[in-house]
Amino acid sequence: MQELVVALVLLVCVITDYREHKIYNMVLLPSLLLGVGYNFVIAGWLGLGQSALGMLAGLTILLIPFALGGMGAGDVKLLAVIGAVKGPVFVFYSALGMGLAGGIMALGIIAYKGGLFRKPASFFHSIWLMLTSGFKVNTFDLGKEKIMLPYGLAIAAGAVGAYWWMG
């Protein structure tokens, strides 16, 4: 049941984030309620506690990037919903995979746009800006075009990685 909820939420959110750069509350809220309710029915107060800890972990992991302007609220809420459905350990592994996937996506976008090989100084300057700004920078200046990462895809990749890692 949990896997189905997470899979459907991730599928819908990846599509809407990619197409519209939005992750909708009308998808997240019912999923949150379903996941918390399921955990409570299956494991009682312990299940409810695990849902609460997972949701808090998901919120906390992306709260600083959100506060610094480098992450959308939908991304934060998506990770919180995953945590509420699957618990704090799963959301921790998802976050590790999410960070790796997000970095690979960013490098792929830079390479695709020609910035990685054509302008190595610009690439290293972008990395330096990300490190010194506390990862506030989430766009890459490759000419006049600003490119936003649909981070829902990185979150989904992280969750898939967590399923694989945890068996």
Which helix (H) or strand (E) segment holds residue 30: the answer is: helix 25-67
Contact in structure between 102 and 151 (CB atoms under 8 Å): yes
* Model confidence, pTM: 0.80
Residues 82, 85, 87, 93, Cα dihedral to 10° = -30
Specify the pLDDT at position 146. Answer: 54
3-state secondary structure of 141: strand
Contact in structure between 157 and 103 (CB atoms under 8 Å): no
Specify the pLDDT at position 29. Answer: 96
Q: How far apart are CA 114 and CA 134, in angstroms?
A: 25
3-state secondary structure of 70: coil
Specify the pLDDT at position 119. Answer: 60
Number of domains in the chain: 1
Enumerate residue ranges in the chain where pLDDT < 50: 137, 142
The residue range of the domain holding 124 is 2-166
Specify the pLDDT at position 139. Answer: 53
